[in-house]
Amino acid sequence: MNVLAGLRPTYSEHRAQEEEAPVPEAGASVLNARNGSAAAGPPQTGRRRDSRLLSTPAFAAAGKGPLGLYIHIPFCARKCPYCDFNTYARLEPLYEACTQALCRDLGRWAARLDGRTVDTVFLGGGTPTVLSSGQLRRILERVHDRFELAVNVEISSEANPGIEDRGQFALLRSLGVNRLSMGVQSFQAEELDFLGRIHDAEDVLRAYDAATEAGFDNINLDFMFGLPRQSLEAWNNSLDKALDLAPRHLSLYSLIVEPDTPLAHWVETGRTPAPDDDLAAEMYEAAMSRLREAGYEQYEVSNWARGAGFACRHNLLYWRNQEWVGIGPGAHSHLRFPTRLRRESTNGLPFLFGDSSDRVTGSGAPAAAVRWSNVKGVQGYVRRVEADESPVSFHEELPAGVSMGETMMLGLRLVREGVPFARFEAMHGQPMRAAFGPSLDRLHDGGLLESDGERVRLTPKGLLVGNRVFSEFVA
Ligand code: SF4
């Protein structure tokens, strides 16, 4: 029995917000060969291509709530065999060109978002710290120079142990990065070996020490469970070591065998047994109980924080279905506009990608949510940005029902916060009950949802059958 029934957090779900829909990019097949599989994530209702510049007037009209900026560094020292993220090894020759393109794209987006304050910045990947100090410095200085950042801006960077990190961490800290997220995954040598990680347990301790020495007090450690041949004892041992470090934040993800990865091939050919779902569920429940005892609050299905203010504010934007702009190859974006958007030009180009004849008009309908993603290939992204073309390869304006359903599905992942009624109404222009009354009643009667009058959230029973709950909100 898989007691988690689809709700158990997966590493891919975590990253789905940051990955691109599987639109193959012409001419980039070599670079994209390992990244053609579908990323998990919200349903998509259509996709279009265009290479025109995004039109500035439209973005100036976007919403005024919290805004995140995601910057994708698509490089790693080595590609892990389970990973289907848009990241590549052995592309050192493209680091500089990609850095230049990222800086240029950041500058263009700063102009489009003029007047909006950025609340969170997330440098993700990939492994941002594989870039040189000079490259990291240029990217972060561009952010500081061109964007209006909130006084209390959260700036996170991902990092992986095993990369020369002491100098990089000090540099990141000096450039305003105030949250570090490290991909540890395990403290067991054989598990790290199976996962193809470049680090060992000693490297983790060294990296953690380097991060604290550099002044980071907000550190997240990522771990994976449900690995083939992983025992509950080994998992508990990794948790022991993680808790010994007492980081402010822990993210625990279940390994999922993603199609078209080396791991999928190993499982198909019998070289590796498939993950045991029941055992993974036991590991998840053991972690929930142990972290609670250690003083961590589970604020999301796969995320725990110790102390007020240490939940990841950038990821909260995703779960609250708010707004962010993604920069870099394969990065996703999601903005809400104050009125429904209507295409004014007649040249057949899709909205957001047209020329200056595109205008924003109000139709009286509720706010429109629009999302898009960039081409995945590094060379394609660089080529388009350098040619002053849009790197966007896919976009869609979400129907109101889809956007409301996503607010529910994402928000219900927030274990305590759930989905506040007032926020839902402010976001979608109608009460939650008007949109989903019968579903809410059904789930409440079944003991899967509860409400304190201000919000709706999963019950402990609902937490274990998340897919059943979420399916009620799919348009
Ligand atoms: S380090 Fe992370 S992003 Fe890079 S290949 Fe491994 S799992 Fe993927």
Mean pLDDT of 15-22: 40
Pocket flag, ligand 1, residue 224 (CB < 6 Å): no
Which residue is closest in CA terms to ligand 1's atom 2?
A: 126
Helix (H, G, I), strand (E, B) or coil at 65: coil
Mean pLDDT of 133-145: 98
pLDDT higher than 70, residue 446: yes
pLDDT higher than 50, residue 459: yes
Q: Which of 103-112, 135-144, 186-195, 360-369 has the lowest mean pLDDT?
A: 360-369
Pocket flag, ligand 1, residue 261 (CB < 6 Å): no
Mean pLDDT of 48-57: 37
Q: Which two tokens stand for residue 209?
A: 């020490």
Residue 467 pLDDT level (bands cut at 50, 70, 90) = confident
Quick one: CA dihedral 63, 66, 72, 73, positive or negative? positive
**Residue 236, exposed/middle/buried by CB under 10 A (0-12, 13-18, 19+)?**
middle
Cβ 302 vs Cβ 314: under 8 Å? no
3-state SS of 128-153 is: HHHCCHHHHHHHHHHHHHHCEEEEEE
Task: Calculate the alpha carbon distances from 313 to 70, 139, 223, 293, 338 in Å.
Answer: 12, 21, 20, 24, 23
Which residue is closest in CA terms to ligand 1's atom 5?
A: 79
Pocket flag, ligand 1, residue 80 (CB < 6 Å): yes
Interval between CA 433 and ligand 1 midpoint (Å): 41
The pair phi, psi for residue 467, each rounded to 5°, is -60, -40
Task: Ligand 1, residue 76: give the atom nearest the CA.
Answer: 4
Mean pLDDT of 328-351: 63
Mean pLDDT of 305-329: 96
Kind and range of the H or E run holding 404: helix 400-411
Residue 474 pLDDT level (bands cut at 50, 70, 90) = confident
Pocket flag, ligand 1, residue 160 (CB < 6 Å): yes
Tell me what pLDDT residue 62 has.
53
Tell me what pLDDT residue 12 has.
46
Q: Which of 151, 159, 163, 273 is nearest to 219 (CA)?
A: 159
CA distance 419 to 342: 29
pLDDT higher than 70, residue 475: no
Tell me what pLDDT residue 63 has.
57
Interval between CA 109 and ligand 1 midpoint (Å): 27
Q: pLDDT (tens digit, 9 = 90+) per residue, 224-240?
A: 999 999 999 999 999 99
Domains, in order of start, for the chain: 11-319 (3.80.30.20), 402-471 (1.10.10)
Tell me what pLDDT residue 371 has.
87
> pTM for this structure?
0.86
Residue 64 pLDDT level (bands cut at 50, 70, 90) = low
pLDDT higher than 70, residue 315: yes
Pocket flag, ligand 1, residue 326 (CB < 6 Å): no
pLDDT higher than 80, residue 221: yes
Which residue is closest in CA terms to ligand 1's atom 6?
A: 80
Residue 32 pLDDT level (bands cut at 50, 70, 90) = very low
Mean pLDDT of 137-153: 97
Q: Which of 35, 27, 29 is nearest to 76 (CA)?
A: 35
Instruction: Count the Cβ atoms, other than its own, within 10 Å of residue 452.
Output: 9
Cβ 382 vs Cβ 357: under 8 Å? no
